[in-house]
């Protein structure tokens, strides 16, 4: 039972890291050379993830393997001082302003994605 609990904890961290990275399961699957349902099964804790896959997930999400397996703090560390400043400023915004900013960020990201193709 403990193994299943550990697998579920890893699955939750993988899902959180993917969402924070702004990637879809399909995008991750493509980068990992997996089928999207495999990523879904891993994130649900229904499929074991190999050490090689964990390493690849960590690279894609820019986190450590230690974080993914639960050997590092629950929060993702932000090492870039610009992002730390942005996080502090975001906390000062009203919910309405934050929603507007998130929409603007999504539009900027969509523009970046189009320029990359």
CB atoms under 10 Å from CB of 15, counted, come to 17
Characterise 33 by phi-psi region: left (phi > 0), alpha (psi -120 to 50), beta (else). left
**How is the chain split into domains, by residue range?**
2-69, 81-116
pLDDT tens digits along 4-45 = 888 999 999 999 889 888 899 999 999 999 999 999 999 999
Q: Which homologous superfamily does the CATH classification assign to the domain defined by 2-69?
A: lambda repressor-like DNA-binding domains (1.10.260.40)
Tokens 């942005």, residue located: 86
- Rounded to whole angstroms, the Cα distance separating 57 from 46 reads 17
Per-residue burial over 22-56, b = 16 or more CB atoms within 10 Å of its CB, e = otherwise = ebebeebbeebebeeebbbbbbebeeebeeebbeb
- Rounded to whole angstroms, the Cα distance separating 49 from 53 reads 6
pLDDT tens digits along 67-116 = 899 887 655 556 667 777 787 788 888 989 988 998 998 888 888 766 66
């Amino acid at each position: 039972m403990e193994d299943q609990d550990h697998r579920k904890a890893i699955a939750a961290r993988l899902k959180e890291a993917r969402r924070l990275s702004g990637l879809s399961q399909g995008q991750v699957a493509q980068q990992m050379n997996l089928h999207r349902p495999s990523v879904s099964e891993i994130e649900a804790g229904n499929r074991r993830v190999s050490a090689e896959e964990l390493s690849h997930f960590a690279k894609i999400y820019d986190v450590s393997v230690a974080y993914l397996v639960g050997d590092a703090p629950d929060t993702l560390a932000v090492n870039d001082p610009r992002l730390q400043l942005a996080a502090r400023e975001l906390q000062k915004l009203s919910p309405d302003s934050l929603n507007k900013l998130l929409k603007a960020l999504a539009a900027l990201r969509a523009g970046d994605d189009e320029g990359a193709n």
